[in-house]
Structure 1
Amino acid sequence: MNPQDMDKMAAQIEGLFFDLQNRLTADIVRRIQKMDKVTATADLQINTLLQLGNTSEIIEAELKRTTGYCDAKIWELYDQVVEDQYTANRDVYEQINTRYIPFEENEELQGWYNAAVSRNMDEILNITQSLGFYVSAGVGRKVFTPLSQIYTGYLNAAAMDVLTGAQSYSAVLRRVSKEMSDSGLQWIEYATGYHCRATTAARRAVLTGVNQMSAQINEKVAEDLETQTFEVTWHSGARDTHWWGGRVYTKKQLVSICGLGSVDGLCGANCRHSYHAFIPGISVRTYTDEQLDELNRKEKQTKTWNGKQYNAYEATAKQREMERNMRAQRANICSLKSGGADPDDIMAAQSRYLNQLHSYKGFSKAMGIEPDLERVYVDRLGRVVTGNGFKTYTKARKTGIISDRNKLKRGIYPVKNEQIARIQENELSGVKFSSEMKYNGRIAGNGKTQIEYYPWGAFKKVKSIEIGKQERDTKEALMDTMLHEELEVRIARKYNINDLPSDAEIHKYINRVIQRIFKAKGWDYDKAR
């Protein structure tokens, strides 16, 4: 069974756990949303009790539904393994005159099959019995919190914040949505303290179980065909320690060289390699040794992205990290939408997601590997930024003013375009301006710069730089305004729109820079203010 097929099988179970996470998160957000209308302590207490009254029943029902779906899906997946790994070898049995026993009559194989399915279902059950979220406990520390406590803790804290006015409903919703989406539904192994997302744990459990079941079937096939040699599959992006993929080994070598039976070896945890019976003189290798040497040489080559080098395995790991971040941001967007958050908050979250998506595609292209967006969309959340969302975002940012240096004061001294041009040619001849500056006496303030951004928040272009009436009738005041607007553009080029410093920080920085320029040139800065 090739790695791609195993990934698709594991993703089916992973998707069921995303469904569980989405339903529970949506329920928490829906309950928090009700608190927006709480106006008195008595109402708060009654309302909270009503909301918390059926929490345990909801959790129990959702877990039963998920495990029920998982049970049926696991049987289906293992049936597929038998079909692909055992039934598909029927022609080989007949080719070497060995009797092929149909699966329905093969009691030994059925015993392995039932045992493997049971182990996988028990693993899924163990995951669902120890679910919760890893949430912030302050000072950069996170603690595991069971599902029932998540409901009580989040709802009570949210209700008190809204009631007392400590935080607005929108602020509470943003906080809870982000924390839950960043943490994700977690499964914890209490004996060691290790934790990972439930979706990841489920995927790993199925991937490992299916792979081991496949290996057992192939060993049975090899025994029937009286061969002691096996070919191990090869796949791109394998971890460095799994260099042995693609070659032919004896059963002993599978253990001694490939680590068969160990957690980090062949068919171990999260391993996508498998092995199948190889009959010398009949079977044909997938790759020759020379082809494997060349493939592995290319795997070790590094490529650069954002100043950092990645080989094939590191690039794949980075891709998975970026996919996890995108899924978390998609969950955050959906939580904000379902909670009726401020449109600006939703738009900002969508912008961050689009920026992540843009970076993901850019990274994949730089590494020469295909983007695997199916791993992002396995969260079952559908489109989180619709076509209209793109248009709204783009329009809003096109018309947004980055520079409006003094909105409270309107200048009274008009200037001419000839004055602007002379300053550019003389005093500021060493400055390469980003755009032609034109006078517009109708604008408020000394100057205004309009920036157009891509939907994902990256700088696209300068739409216009306009100079308005000045507060002082001096050349220095006009020079100050022109430098100010140009520096606004340069700052905008440097940052994604979501990472821009505040207006106060930007203007403070710009004023310091302009003062240094005036001092270096010997100009009188007092005449500019």
Structure 2
Amino acid sequence: MLSDEQLDVLSGALAPLFQNLEAWVITDVAQRIKNTMMYTRTAELEVEALQKMGYSPARIRAEVMRILRADKAFQRQVEENTLAFKREVAAKLAEITGKAQEAAGEVIDGAGDMSWADDISLWDSAGVNLEEDGSLKQITQAMKDQTRGTLKNLTRTTGFRTASGMESVKEVYQKELDKALVKASSGAVTREQCVREVIQDLARSGLRTIDYDSGRSYQLDTASRMCLNTAAGQLAAQVCNSNIQKTGVTMVQVSAHWGARDKGEGIKNHKEWQGKVYSIDGQLHPEEEKRIGMEINDLQECTGYSVQDGTGDIEGLHGVNCRHNHHPFFEGVSTPVKYDPEPEDKEINGRTYSYYDVLQGMRRREREIRALKREKEALEKLGEDAAAVKAKIRQKTKEYNSFCDICEVRQKPERLRVESGTTDLTKTQAWKSFQEERTKAVK
């Protein structure tokens, strides 16, 4: 099985690739809009004249749009930018997807190495000597194929969530330009302010993977974390299952962690089934129940997961983004692992936080800091003043650290990182952390 620390490192290994893609898109769109709007000087002069004459904002906007549609140089610039952006963003998406799929193979190999090393030590402590028979290679290859497919799907439909709705990444230049022109034509916003607002809006959203059927979207780097977290957890489960089936073990214990999902009923409510011992063969174990003082129910019935088939419900154990694992429980020998109780609710500034609320508060603050860092980077690349954004980053980081201290939870600086400067993963801290953890685990 894999520890929470190992899952954090594994799941974050590819984040810099998607952060690089995100930064490239935001900066490229903003730069093109900045250049395009250089052609609107004639319209700006018209705005000033019409304002002095007392015309309404609607009349001014209509006149400005008429001028811009008649400006051949402006229209040619927009057309060229639109075609160039679509072509270049398609190439960039293909590049990042290819690199992510390639690197994912190494991450899954690392997850396999870590899982095997931990599993073998567990069996050794029980006096069972297991030899690798090629099953690990087969399990790892199947998980590589699954993960590569998932990563490809993540980048297939991408875009930004703005105040005006979802904007496809291939259409974002045209849509953001249209909004900027409307703002500028009012005469209340300068070209410079328009560009800064484009950067701010796109940075706050972050480049997202979008499911148009459900309407749900996730930031790409977050979605890649979820993908790898799920894959690593399922791989560790398959390694454990393989060893269980070799030895005839009939029971397992499921791990427990603070902040487990407690919504819904049955398999959806992870908090209800975590930390318990289960039967995996459909048999009753009354004598073992007496020995350990715990009711032993059927694993698949309670959690939705089958050790024999290695499959489960996406809402249950080893489902999407589940951080639980299971390990063999040796009849007549094992003692159930006792997990520390979840911390009591905390009251902060008059509001009561459960541990789950604390985690959600951390995630929200982390997203805000990453958004500000995206904004800062784009401003700096366009030669704009980023001093105010830097000050916000310092303030938000201070608030984040203070919140974690008050709630007595470990800060996660790796979740505040935005490593977007390169597509060479070996030069990023996220990849170095993964390699260090892998080496440490298999020594």
Find the residue that maps to 1:148 and give its secondary structure: coil
The number of residues matched between the two structures is 362
380, 397, 402: which one aligns with 1:357 = 397
**Comparing 90-99 with 311-320, which one deviates more in the overlay?**
90-99
> Are residues 1:63 and 2:93 paired?
yes
1:99/1:206 Cα in 2 relative to 1: closer, same or farther (>3 Å)? closer
| Deviation of 1:302 (Å) | 1.0
Q: Does the 8 Å CA contact 2:33/2:173 hold for their aligned counterparts?
A: no
1:234/1:153 Cα in 2 relative to 1: closer, same or farther (>3 Å)? same
> Are residues 1:228 and 2:258 paired?
no
| Deviation of 1:162 (Å) | 5.1
Structure 1: stretches of 5+ with no match in the other structure: 138-142, 383-529
Q: Does the 8 Å CA contact 2:374/2:418 hold for their aligned counterparts?
A: no
Larger Rg: 1
> Are residues 1:270 and 2:321 paired?
yes
- 1:192-207 equivalences under 5 Å are 192-207=214-229
| Deviation of 1:131 (Å) | 0.6
181, 186, 191: which one aligns with 1:169 = 191
Find the residue that maps to 2:170 and give its secondary structure: helix
Distance 1:348 1:94 in 2: 57
Percent of matched pairs sharing the same residue: 23
Find the residue that maps to 2:208 and give its secondary structure: strand
368, 384, 397: which one aligns with 1:325 = 368
| Correspondence for 1:34 | 35
The one-letter code of the counterpart of 2:23 is N
Find the residue that maps to 2:163 and give its secondary structure: strand
Q: Does the 8 Å CA contact 2:167/2:175 hold for their aligned counterparts?
A: no
- 1:2-401 equivalences under 5 Å are 2-35=3-36, 37-38=38-39, 39-40=41-42, 41-90=71-120, 92=123, 96=127, 100-103=131-134, 106=135, 109-137=136-164, 143-158=165-180, 167-240=189-262, 241-243=269-271, 244-251=273-280, 253-260=298-305, 261-280=312-331, 287-288=337-338, 292=339, 295-296=340-341, 298-299=342-343, 301-341=344-384, 343=385, 346-380=386-420
| Correspondence for 1:492 | none
| Deviation of 1:339 (Å) | 2.8
| Deviation of 1:113 (Å) | 2.8
Distance 1:86 1:374 in 2: 26
| Deviation of 1:6 (Å) | 1.0
The one-letter code of the counterpart of 1:242 is H
Find the residue that maps to 2:23 and give its secondary structure: helix
TM score, norm. by length of structure 2: 0.74
- 1:474-493 equivalences under 5 Å are none
1:259/1:379 Cα in 2 relative to 1: closer, same or farther (>3 Å)? farther
Q: Does the 8 Å CA contact 1:63/1:128 hold for their aligned counterparts?
A: yes
* Per-residue Cα deviation, 1:385-426 (whole angstroms, up to 9, x for no partner): xxxxxxxxxxxxxxxxxxxxxxxxxxxxxxxxxxxxxxxxxx
The one-letter code of the counterpart of 2:303 is C
| Correspondence for 2:57 | none
The one-letter code of the counterpart of 2:132 is I
Q: Does the 8 Å CA contact 1:36/1:162 hold for their aligned counterparts?
A: no
Find the residue that maps to 2:324 and give its secondary structure: coil
TM score, norm. by length of structure 1: 0.63
* Per-residue Cα deviation, 1:137-192 (whole angstroms, up to 9, x for no partner): 2xxxxx22211110222235436755885631221012211211121111112222
* Per-residue Cα deviation, 1:472-526 (whole angstroms, up to 9, x for no partner): xxxxxxxxxxxxxxxxxxxxxxxxxxxxxxxxxxxxxxxxxxxxxxxxxxxxxxx
Q: Which has the higher contact order (CA 8 A, sep 6+)?
A: 2
Structure 2: stretches of 5+ with no match in the other structure: 43-70, 263-268, 283-297, 306-311, 423-443
